[in-house]
Structure 1
């Protein structure tokens, strides 16, 4: 059920964000405790502000009320993805070269299923990440279809 809610929400919100020159980053429909949350993450160069999130929330809320795709009570949240924004598409990878990323894989490469480091390049659907093992720098090539989850990562 949650995948159909996500798909319907994406279809409803895409024209709204495109009209406002924003980017739809992600949609989640998750249960936390006894409550359901429909979360929509939007962004643009330089980030989004609270008024933009509010406008998208109001417009989307009206569309959701019209189509009524969700039978259970839920909370709608529209926000920025934050500094650890998810990387979902190939274009997300291509536009985040030289940034720090965290990648979790479906199956191990070189014995590891998780890597954090600098995304050096994304060519022919392969992400090349430079990471450190103690004091040594190493590189790994990860095919896009082997990536289960990825996001930008904050380095402290």
Structure 2
């Protein structure tokens, strides 16, 4: 069950992040820790990387906004970070960055069940995705792809 203060804290954090040029990616409140911890994850619009300086620069305004809201009456630790890299490959930048990495491609063709193909990511064009499946190049129509996910080399 989510903490009752979570919606209000999320609203305060989202507004503060927006004022500083960021988007709120996630907010977690860990009340089981002593002192409790407020974890705020931010991202920049347009996919620009979040730096350590960005996190440090937002820490003061975010702390001030939380204090001004009077939502938290107990001591807390504020952590500002980026969400990091997920396992889904979605943007053009992701496909460039993870070229050669092992991926699983989920394909939905017609009425049958989804099919998953595994291989190394080679290339993506406007129409196709190419993966290397144990030395064989597989060209997959982008229109049939529902998901491209990074995997570990051993899975």
User: Structure 1 residues 118 and 59 mapped into 2: Cα distance closer, same or farther (>3 Å)?
Assistant: farther
Aligned twin of 1:55: 57
User: Structure 1 residues 96 and 59 mapped into 2: Cα distance closer, same or farther (>3 Å)?
Assistant: same
How far off is 1:75 after superposition?
A: 0.7
Q: For the residues of structure 1 that align with 2:10 and 2:117, how far apart are their CA atoms?
A: 34
Of the three residues 79, 88, 96, the one matched with 2:90 is 96
Q: Give deviations 1:89-145, integer Å, cap 9, x for gaps.
A: xxxx8x936979xxxxxxxxxxxxxxx944669xxxxxx78455xx8xxx9979xxx
Structure holding more strand per residue: 1
Q: Is the Cα–Cα contact under 8 Å of residues 105 and 145 in structure 2 kept in the other structure? A: no
Of the three residues 61, 64, 67, the one matched with 1:65 is 67
> So what's the TM-score if we normalise by structure 2?
0.54
How far off is 1:17 after superposition?
A: 2.1
> So what's the TM-score if we normalise by structure 1?
0.54
After superposition, residues 65-144 of structure 1 pair within 5 angstroms as 65-84=67-86, 96=90, 117-118=104-105, 130=116, 132=118
How far off is 1:46 after superposition?
A: 2.7
Runs of 4 or more above 6 Å deviation: 97-100, 139-142
Greater C-alpha Rg: 2
Aligned twin of 2:13: 13
Count of residues paired in the alignment: 116
Matched residue SS, 1:4: coil
Specify every segment of 5 or more residues in structure 1 that has no aligned partner in the other structure, as ranges. 86-92, 101-115, 122-127, 143-151
RMSD: 4.1
